[in-house]
C-alpha cells in the first residue's frame, strides 16, 4: 500500500484522482473509481442544473460508500453558469471534497471551507499555486503542459513544474498531465507529489460513459495525436488531432488570425458531446492528453487502479534496492 498525505487526507487507498472531465465525470465512472480505491470526481457542469447535480450525487452515493468529490470549473463566459447554485446543492447533499479550476476561485473556496470541505485546486503555474495556498486550499493539482484541456500559456512540462512545486509549496500537491500507469505514479511521488490526477486514462475504461469507438481511438492513437487550439486567443487547449481541430488551427494561423466568433461553430461543446455519444472522433472537438501514447487497453477501473498500485509499489521497491546496492558498493 502506498500511503501519502493525499490518501490520509481523503481516506482513499490509492493516491489517484479522476479528473473532472466535461461529459465524462458521471456517476458510473465516479463510483467505479472510488470503489476501486481512488477518488472519483463528478463534473458539476456536465449536469444541466444544480438540481440535476443533486440527482447525480445521489446516484453516485447509491453506487459507492467510498469518498468522492465534485468538480466546479470556472469558465470565461458572458453568461456564467450558476456556480453558487451548484456549490450549494453539492454541499447540501453532503459532498465534502471539491475540485476547483479556473481563475478567481476565492469565493467558492471560502464557501467550501466555511462548510468544512476539502478543496483541491488545479493550477498550471507556481505563482497561481501560491495564490491558491493563500486562499487556504487543502491540495493543489499541478497541471503540466502534457495535460488535456487547458495547460496554461507558459508551456512548462510536468518534470520541471513538479520539481518547482517541491521547492516552493507547503501545501500537498498532486501531479496532472501525462499520467496513465504505475511508473507515472512512482515518478510523481519521486518529484514530491502526493499522488496523481488522470483524465484521458479514465476515459478509456469500461465504466467511462463515452462511446466504445472513441475508447478504441484512444487505444490506437499515440502521443503525437493531439494539437493545441486557441493559442492565438491566449486560452490554449490540448485536444484530439482531427479534421475539426486542424481546421481551427488553420484559421488561427491565417493572416490576421481569428476571433472566437470565427471558431465558435467548430468548437461548440455540443459537438464535442456528440463525439462521445455517437462514437465519431471526427465530428467535433474533444479533449485528450498525450498520455494516449501510454494507453493500450480498456480495463475496468478496478483492474486499472490495482495495476497502477502494484506497478508503482514494484518500481519504488526496485529503486530502493538499487540505491541500497549502490550504497554498499
pLDDT tens-digit profile of 229-266?
999 999 999 999 999 999 999 999 999 999 999 999 99
Of 210, 239, 265, the one marking the end of a domain is 210
For 173, phi and psi rounded to 5 degrees?
-135, 155
Q: Do 44 and 69 share a domain, yes or no?
A: yes
Q: Do 89 and 161 share a domain, yes or no?
A: yes
* Residue 54 falls inside a structural domain: yes
Other CB atoms within 10 A of residue 264 CB: 9
Check: CB of residue 220 under 8 Å from CB of residue 214.
no
150 vs 144: CA distance, rounded Å: 10
Least confident range from 14-18, 38-42, 118-122, 325-329: namely 325-329
Can you give the CATH number for the domain in which 178 is found?
3.20.20.70
Q: Do 120 and 244 share a domain, yes or no?
A: no
Q: Do 200 and 240 share a domain, yes or no?
A: no
Q: Do 195 and 239 share a domain, yes or no?
A: no
Residue span of the structural domain in which 273 resides: 226-287
pLDDT tens track for 90-119: 999 999 999 999 989 999 999 999 999 999
Q: Do 188 and 237 share a domain, yes or no?
A: no
Q: Do 201 and 230 share a domain, yes or no?
A: no
Give the residue with greater pLDDT, 77 vs 33: 33
Q: Do 90 and 175 share a domain, yes or no?
A: yes
163 vs 161: CA distance, rounded Å: 6
How many Å separate Cα 48 from the centre of its chain?
20
Q: What is the pTM of this model?
A: 0.96
Of 162, 182, 210, the one marking the end of a domain is 210
Q: Do 30 and 143 share a domain, yes or no?
A: yes
β-sheet with 196-198: strand ranges across: 16-18, 196-198, 173-176, 139-143, 118-123, 97-101, 68-73, 40-43
Q: Do 145 and 100 share a domain, yes or no?
A: yes
Q: How many domains does the chain have?
A: 2
* Residue 308 falls inside a structural domain: no
* Residue 324 falls inside a structural domain: no
* Residue 296 falls inside a structural domain: no
pLDDT tens track for 281-308: 999 999 999 999 999 999 999 999 999 9
* Residue 316 falls inside a structural domain: no
Q: Do 192 and 238 share a domain, yes or no?
A: no
Amino acid at each position: 500500500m502506498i500511503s501519502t498525505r493525499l490518501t490520509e487526507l481523503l481516506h482513499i487507498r490509492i493516491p489517484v484522482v479522476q479528473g473532472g472531465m466535461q461529459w465524462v465525470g458521471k456517476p458510473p465512472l465516479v463510483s467505479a473509481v472510488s470503489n476501486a480505491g481512488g477518488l472519483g470526481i463528478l463534473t458539476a457542469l456536465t449536469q444541466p442544473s444544480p438540481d440535476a447535480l443533486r440527482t447525480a450525487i445521489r446516484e453516485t452515493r447509491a453506487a459507492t460508500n467510498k469518498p468522492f468529490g465534485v468538480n466546479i470549473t470556472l469558465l470565461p463566459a458572458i453568461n456564467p453558469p450558476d456556480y453558487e447554485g451548484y456549490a450549494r446543492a453539492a454541499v447540501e447533499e453532503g459532498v465534502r471534497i471539491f475540485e476547483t479550476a479556473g481563475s478567481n476561485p476565492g469565493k467558492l473556496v471560502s464557501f467550501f471551507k466555511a462548510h468544512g470541505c476539502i478543496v483541491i485546486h488545479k493550477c498550471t503555474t507556481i505563482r497561481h499555486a501560491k495564490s491558491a495556498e493563500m486562499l487556504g486550499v487543502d491540495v493543489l493539482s499541478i497541471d503540466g503542459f502534457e495535460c488535456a484541456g487547458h495547460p496554461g500559456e507558459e508551456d512548462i512540462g510536468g518534470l520541471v513544474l513538479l520539481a518547482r512545486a517541491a521547492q516552493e509549496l507547503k501545501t500537498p500537491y498532486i501531479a496532472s498531465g501525462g499520467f496513465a500507469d504505475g511508473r507515472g505514479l512512482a515518478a510523481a511521488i519521486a518529484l514530491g507529489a502526493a499522488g496523481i490526477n488522470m483524465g484521458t486514462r479514465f476515459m478509456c475504461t469500461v465504466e467511462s460513459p463515452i462511446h466504445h469507438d472513441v475508447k478504441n481511438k484512444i487505444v490506437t492513437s499515440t502521443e503525437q495525436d493531439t494539437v493545441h487550439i486557441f493559442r492565438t486567443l491566449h486560452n490554449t487547449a490540448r485536444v484530439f488531432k482531427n479534421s475539426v481541430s486542424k481546421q481551427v488551427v488553420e484559421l488561427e494561423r491565417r493572416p490576421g488570425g481569428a476571433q472566437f466568433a470565427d471558431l465558435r461553430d467548430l468548437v461548440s461543446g455540443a459537438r464535442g458531446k456528440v463525439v462521445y455519444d455517437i462514437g465519431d472522433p471526427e465530428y467535433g472537438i474533444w479533449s485528450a492528453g498525450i498520455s494516449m501514447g501510454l494507453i493500450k487497453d480498456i480495463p475496468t477501473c478496478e483492474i486499472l487502479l490495482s495495476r497502477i498500485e502494484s506497478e508503482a509499489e514494484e518500481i519504488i521497491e526496485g529503486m530502493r534496492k538499487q540505491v541500497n546496492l549502490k550504497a554498499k558498493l
